[in-house]
Structure 1
Amino acid sequence: MASSSEVRAILDLPSSSSATPAALQKKLSVPSARKPDGISRELFSLIGPSSTTLVAQLAKPRLKQKPNLGAGSKIKWEWRTFKNGARTDSLELRHWIKASADPEAEYPFAKYNVQRPTYTYSQDEYTRHLEDSEWTKEETDYLMNIVHEYDTRWYIIHDRYDYPGGAQRSMEDLKDRYCSVCRKLIRNRPWAGDENSKNVLLSSFSFDKEREVLRKRYITSLENRTPEQIAEEEALYMEIKRLEQNERRFKRERDDLLRTIAGIESGLPDIVEDEMQLTGVSSSDPKRSKKKGGGDLLDSPSTPLLSTPLARARPNMPPKNSAYALQHCITRIEQPPVGAGSSATKAAHQPAYLRSFKLPFPKAAIAQKVTQALTELGVSHARLVMPTQGNVALLEALLDATASLVDTKEDGDADGDGEGEDGRAQSVVSTRSARSRKHNRRSLSISSVETSATVSTRAGTKRQRRS
């Protein structure tokens, strides 16, 4: 049961005791929790201090502690005077330096004052090696002294150069005279080191006056170009890039063609790719390059050999001999002479065709068996790497022999062993008829006259078989 004091505290009534209400409220108040960093006051008043995970997520990241770089010990600096060992005068300067540093120590930046070697000469050396009709000894001495004074800074030397009574000298004249004097002194004086170091030192004094003058003249002409000239040069540059791109494309296509001619792209297992062979094929072609004036001029893709009327008027025809034709696989067909009473008709014309279109093929009835027989022998008749006249003839003979072998085998299997001579004779007749049909099919031509003749031959063959 609650006491009266507790009831009064709940109802917020003044106590009858001597304790004041302020003291009682202070006693009953709950201490408030401190708002953590990284969270707003409104959000903390809603969630309270119990949600620790949200506070941890919204807390600000703590950075690493700053290192202590000797803050405890203080360094004392002094304003001292110093002398630069690279200077020849008695100039004294001041700078801040640590109090613990040695006042008699050498200035640390004096080691960066690197001087070029100074070349001096005697009267005898000048008389023997250095005399020049355009330069006197006094002016040469003045040049060597001013070069040493300004440490071979030629723009400053040319600006300060003022020899009394002397001619007007350009920067190239000054550099050429100075370098020539140094080279002659190095060559004619005894050298203590090796020959390689001497050549390196001589190359450091090499100077081409004419080349330098031409270079500056060219730069001046570039700076004085008009907008029309700049546009023309850009157009020429784009044209050169286009020609180079076309040249690379034609070279790539030529390489692909050479690979096809050599049989690398045929897929045959016996063909091995040889880069030297392709290079030899491309270099042995006499139309690839022409020598003129001691230089090699490659045929440009945009100007082929037979594109000009002059080239078409005077073609370079090969000699008509059997050795040249045999070497280059050339077959010449002599045209029949046209008599007085005859006229050149379409029948006398022989149209041009590719020899690969005239490749023989077996009959459809036995094509699968012929192909299987040739595959067992390791021969591929579908494509010739080099379809020359001799290779086509050999392929034709091989297909005929294979077809005859297949026909003979089929006739023997059909008739059996009891037919004897009649079966063998019938097999031979069927083989001959197959050869005649094969020959008629192989002689198919593009012209209509030959086509009609072939059709009539096939019809005669069919009538003979029916009879």
Structure 2
Amino acid sequence: MASDILDVFNIKEEARVQPKKRARSENDFGSQSKKKKHAMSRELYNLIGSNLPPVAVEKGFKFKDKINSGKASPWVWAPFKNEARSDDLELHHWVKGPVAPSDEQRSYNFAKYNTSLDIPSFSKEEYDEKLKDMSEDWDFEETKFLFDLARDYDLRWAVIYDRYEFYNNKQRSLEDLKERLYSVSAKLLNSNPDGTRDVALIKGLESFDKKQELERKQYLDRLIHRAPTEIAEEESLVIEARKFELAAKKMLMERAQLLQLLDSPQSSASIEQYTTSSGLTQLYNSLMTVDKSKKRKPEVPVPPQLGPNAIPHTQQIQQAQQQHLMRQRQGKKSSLSQKLYGGKQEISQQQAQSEVWQLLQSKLTAEEMEVYGLRFHDEKLQPGVYIRSQKLSSFKPAVQAKVAEVLNELQISMKPTLPTANVCSKFDQLLQSIATLIDLKKQTDKLSGEVALIKSQKGIE
């Protein structure tokens, strides 16, 4: 390998730097065994040669090396006073580092969390002047007792309602206590002699409605005591509502795309740059690039269906096409039945040429052929024996489930009980009619949803 590299660079073998040889001593056996442990492979040595690595490797710290971090910090058992207490009690706690005499007068760290609500207070004269006419059911002593409880328990209404026991033994509900406290507080703040008024706080206190609070609690009580069936019904309604929202969004998006395609493009820039051949080539390349970037779905030929974004004229055309197809099917079925039952319609040329058909026609009447179950089929039949009910019309799984539901409501089985030819023919017509009605109902629901959406957007009731 090394000789090949030297040949590429036109370097002679003699120009290589050869390491100096020294005589092997007796102490070299131990060092040689140690070097072999960390020796590099022969291929790597042949590539590198006698060149040293460009980066010097230094010995770093080991994982368990002890780091001298200095002297340990002392802890002192220092006294302190909590400003939240009114008895000037002196307590002690551990403090890191030496404590200076000035630090002992420092405030306690957790005293700032001892906060209280600023609940307004009033005197007997203020009550008689401003608050006496608010309610005849409340007096000064009971109102003062309520404000003292609210101040002691920081407006924790559950505790206030539990501790509320006034000497007049009047039954007060929690809503009565809230209404009295909020109305009196709003009156006091509104008539503040200092002139400072918190408008947002006053509006919040005046907005309390006792009747609305009772209704809210009744609704919550009903919500908590719901039955499992009601919960499942609500969840299903929420899911259906989300489906309707997604369908409406999809319909609006498809409509916007359709309108964007139908609207003629408005030219806002100059077209002089596209009058030359180079400009047309550049325009063609840009359009091809945009066209390739769009992900196209594979075009599969499907029968035209009534989509949610179709315009009313298109819906009328599609409904007319569907009705025309239904009439053609019914006409084919009626003509086939008339041929089978020997009506006045003309018989096909192949059947007229058949000797068996002529013989039966001359010997048997239509009623006798119906009694004996004799029929002549125009279509090609499959070989072997089959059941008439197997030839009934089948639909997509979603439509089939709805057809089964309608038949269940009509108390009709999915398969005819006595599958004669006439019964199977009528039953197939029934299935076709049910499927057509389901499709029409689906389109009607879409149209009614679209009309309701447009009315809600335009504000029409």
Q: Give the TM interval when normalised to the shorter protein.
A: 0.3 to 0.5
Bigger Rg, structure 1 or 2: 1
Q: TM-score, normalised by structure 1?
A: 0.41
TM-score (norm 2): 0.42
